[in-house]
Amino acid sequence: MHTKNLAAFTALSLMSPAAILADGFHLAGQSPEAVGKGNAFVATANTAAAVYYNAAGLTQIDSSSVQVGFYSISLGIEADVAGGKYDLEREVQFTPQIYSAFRLNEKAVLGFGLNSPFGLASEWEDNTSFRSTATTSELKYATFWAVAGYEVTDTLSVGGGIGIHHADMDLRRGIFAPGDEFGFNGDDQGLSWTLSVLWQPHEKHSFGAVYRSKTDFTFEGESEAAPYAPAENAELDLTTPATFAVGYSYRPNQCWNFEVNVEWVDWDELGTLTLEQDSGDLAIPFEWEDSFIYSIGAEYDFGNGYLGRIGYNYIESAQPDEYYNPGVGDADRHWLTCGIGYKGESWSWDAAYQYAFSDREVDSALDPAVNGDYKSRFHSLSLTARYDF
């Protein structure tokens, strides 16, 4: 088979740019004090994690603060397709979460952070009926944030800054028979910006909003149809979506904090991509749709330094049936969360647990090999330690 025709055959259904999670490959939970209450934190944002959730909230921090933690997740997906049953290869995956806040004066606070707002990975066995659609999909993604919060009045603060992103993509899929594969690997850096506001008209009521811009990447690397053709230069343009979240927090007394958030994710940006190769350009259709994340949570202060949290969030799928790909495996997914924290004079810590579940039936995919039932069950644990000085 001619190299160009073979590359076209193998790449046309390579439609998975990254992780298998909820809401495409967007990772909403970025710190346990937020995750524990269903990730409803935009209108609270009272720790250094405000660097990501709402930079305007940094003005609530009395002293400088540094926190270091991680988010871990175990992904479980079962696929019942074409008369066969397959399990995603399960492993625990980790992403870092580091935030710091430095008070400059009575009005202004600087914030810095390192996290992974997109990413993770999936790996299916090489003997599935849909191996020609997806086997391995991985996106390693890290973002450095530099933001600031400024107190305009006693009740209104604003924030904003930039994100510097590095992403490394590795995509694999079968071609004809177990043992062969088409793959693309590339990396790139990108820049984004964020703006936010926090309004607290009353001690019992708080409103927050945050916008994060899209990030454009051009992944440069190589594609290869092994063992049929040698590697060749290739590149792929990809945009990670803009997001906009709003939240309302209600504190009926000193013990309780209830919050609701709604977040919009602009997956409509992810239309048809083009894999550019020396042997010719290839169209890769995604045609995803905008989605929403709905979060609700509660926090209780026991009065002895300990905090308890509980929450729920519902994340809509961005991936329509027609373009379903098990390499991403998106679905309308429910997340149940709980957490605990301790706040001392200088040292504090927070931990959170998540359980997610979804059941999706795909019956109208353009690739009939992926039609079937998909059942997901996820478990995650996040932990952070914080020092105030």
106-125 tens-digit pLDDT: 999 999 999 999 887 788 98
Calculate what percentage of the chain has a pLDDT beyond 70. 94
Give 24's pLDDT tier (boundaries 50, 70, 90). Answer: low
pLDDT of residue 19: 40
In tens, the pLDDT along 231-246 reads 999 999 999 999 999 9
Structural domain for 375, as ranges? 3-388
pLDDT of 278 above 50: yes
Q: Cα Rg for the chain, rounded, in angstroms?
A: 22
**Please, what is the average pLDDT of the chain?**
90
Instruction: Work out how many domains the chain is built from and give that number.
Output: 1
**Which CATH number covers residue 107?**
2.40.160.60
**Higher-scoring residue by pLDDT: 92, 145:** 145
Give 85's pLDDT tier (boundaries 50, 70, 90). Answer: very high
pLDDT of 6 above 80: no
**Higher-scoring residue by pLDDT: 152, 139:** 152
pLDDT of residue 160: 98
Please tell me the pTM assigned to this model: 0.91
* Tokens matching residue 296: 């609700």
How far apart are alpha carbons 197 and 219 in whole angstroms? 33
Per-position b or e across 262-299, b if 16+ CB within 10 A of its CB: bbbbbbebbeebebbbebeebebebebeebebebbbbb
Most confident of 118-127, 133-142, 175-184, 211-220: 211-220
DSSP 3-state of 97: strand
Phi-psi map region of 315: left, alpha, beta (phi>0 left; psi -120 to 50 alpha): beta
**Which of 317, 312, 269, 330 is closest to 291 using CA atoms?**
317
